[in-house]
Copies of this chain bind each other. A is one copy, B any other.
Amino acid sequence: MKEISLNRAIELASPYPYALLVTIDKDEKPNIMGLSWWNFVSFNPILIIVSVAPERYSYKCLTHNKEFVLSIPAEDQAKGAWVCGIKSGAEVDKFKEAGFKPISSKKVKPPIIDGVTVAFECKVVKEIEVGDHNLFLGEVVAIHGNPDKSSHLYTIHYRKILSIDQEGNINMNP
């Protein structure tokens, strides 16, 4: 064991499950952000946290409308999913840019991205300042999925993307 840099540590701890955060802006236009800083934090109620920096367009959206849909994108959505992680919703229409089709959610305003492996509809119940990001704690109010899609996307150091399924099959450049 030796002391290593954060950069090296983040690389060594890769890959991370990659998610898409769907919100709506003040004009009710849907936005999508790619992120790996999310997780489950409670089973009862089912709570998910996402960590979003205040300078992100998604932060403005979450402040305006306290709801989000956390989506786990499928292998065949890699190209569009990556676009969502590198462009800003302040400048482009993410659904258009990514080639994704929005479908209506059941209990929240932000739409579901059609074709994702899993989608969690969430209502924000708490916002917590943590360093240079804010945590949004979302209570899951509906869950959708495509049980025939068994794989989804992961990032390596937030720089590359790959796909892994539950049987351990992997695809490096989906």
Contact indicator A38/B39 (Cβ below 8 Å): yes
Q: Chain A contact residues (Cβ within 8 angstroms of B): what range?
A: 35 or more
Q: Report if A11 contacts B (CB, 8 A).
A: yes
Contact indicator A166/B41 (Cβ below 8 Å): no
Contact indicator B130/A11 (Cβ below 8 Å): no
Map CB proximity to B onto A13-46 as digits: 1 under 8 Å, 0 otherwise.
Answer: 1111100000000000000000011111111111
**Closest residue of chain B to A51, judged by CB?**
B41
C-alpha spacing A9/B46, complex, angstroms? 12
Q: State the Cβ distance, A128 to closest chain B Cβ, in Å.
A: 6
Contact indicator B147/A42 (Cβ below 8 Å): no
**For residue A142, which residues in chain B have a CB less than 8 angstroms away from its CB?**
3
**For residue A92, which residues in chain B have a CB less than 8 angstroms away from its CB?**
none
Contact indicator B49/A11 (Cβ below 8 Å): no
Q: Report if A86 contacts B (CB, 8 A).
A: no
Contact indicator A166/B1 (Cβ below 8 Å): no
Contact indicator B37/A119 (Cβ below 8 Å): no
Contact indicator A51/B72 (Cβ below 8 Å): no
Also in contact, A1 and B135, with CB within 8 A (given A40-B51, A168-B170): no
**Closest residue of chain B to A120, judged by CB?**
B9
Q: State the Cβ distance, A138 to closest chain B Cβ, in Å.
A: 11
Q: Which of A147-174 contact B (CB under 8 A)?
A: 147, 149-150, 152, 156-157, 162, 164, 166-172
User: Which one of B128, B150, B169 contacts A128 once the chains associate, using CB atoms below 8 Å?
Assistant: B128
